[in-house]
Amino acid sequence: MIYLADTADIDELKKLFYYFPLEGITTNPTIIAQAGKKLSVIMPELIEVVQDKMLHVQMISSRAEDMLREAKAYKAKYGLGDNYYAKIPVTEEGYKAMPMIKEAGINVTATAIFTQQQALVAARAGADWVAPYVNRLDNISSHGIEVVGNIVENIERFNLPTKVLAASFKTVDQVHRVSMMGSQAATVNFEILERLRSHPMTDMSVEWFEKDADGLYDIDF
């Protein structure tokens, strides 16, 4: 499973890209609102930080034809390449837009997925990635992890090229469990990414190593 950062906060992204083996970033209107900047301001900053890694940008249009125009407009305005993914919610218009956007040579990420069948329909509509919302499912007494597992199985069963980008996490354990289900990717916020890569025992062990090495490591480097 690969990791993406589910944030548009430039300071968080700079910190993460400094050390974390990220494969890209995902955004949606809520994430852009949290970053507190207009899209025209934040897009160049995101492009600079993400470089050739994946950049998933959510379309806000509600009609299929407008989603296509929007996806094309971002691509043209910022000269985006193959690392750009137009995120399309799985509405009636969204499903209609997916093959149109693919036809225009733009990658598609189907988003706001809550059921196995929504994911399968999006895969059939040509989505490159499908993004099931794990924590939002768990929050309504459903089973996000199980939904992700079923989607992974179905995609394999029917030999589809679509991949699973699990989204919406509130705990490290949810991220771990989707990896055990075979999700190809997880998009995770800053706080959970920092938590999942660290452990107090690691810090303590490094402290002990440093104490033990004192005065003994005398080879220049």
Q: What residues contact 106, with CB distance under 8 A and at least 6 apart?
A: 71, 72, 75, 84, 85, 86
Token digits of residue 139: 């929050």
Active-site annotation holds for 77:
no
Using alpha carbons, select from 3, 120, 114, 4 the residue that is nearest to residue 56.
Answer: 4
How far apart are alpha carbons 134 and 32 in whole angstroms? 20
- With respect to ligand E4P, which residue has the nearer C-beta, 26 or 150? 26
Return d(Cα 57, Cα 137) in angstroms, integer: 22
Site for ligand E4P in 173-202 (CB under 6 A): 187
84 binds ligand E4P (CB under 6 A): no
Q: Which stretch binds ligand E4P (CB under 6 A): 63-71, 114-122, 133-141, 200-208?
A: 133-141
Site map for ligand E4P, 23-62, x if CB under 6 A? Answer: ---x-x-x--------------------------------
Separation of alpha carbons 42 and 38, rounded Å:
6
Catalytic residue among 14, 53, 72, 87: 87
Residue of 61, 135, 142, 154 interacting with ligand E4P (CB under 6 A): 135
> Position 137: which residue type?
L
- The least CB distance from residue 112 to ligand E4P, in Å, is 7
Q: Which residues bind ligand E4P (CB under 6 A)?
A: 6, 26, 28, 30, 111, 131, 133, 135-136, 167-168, 187
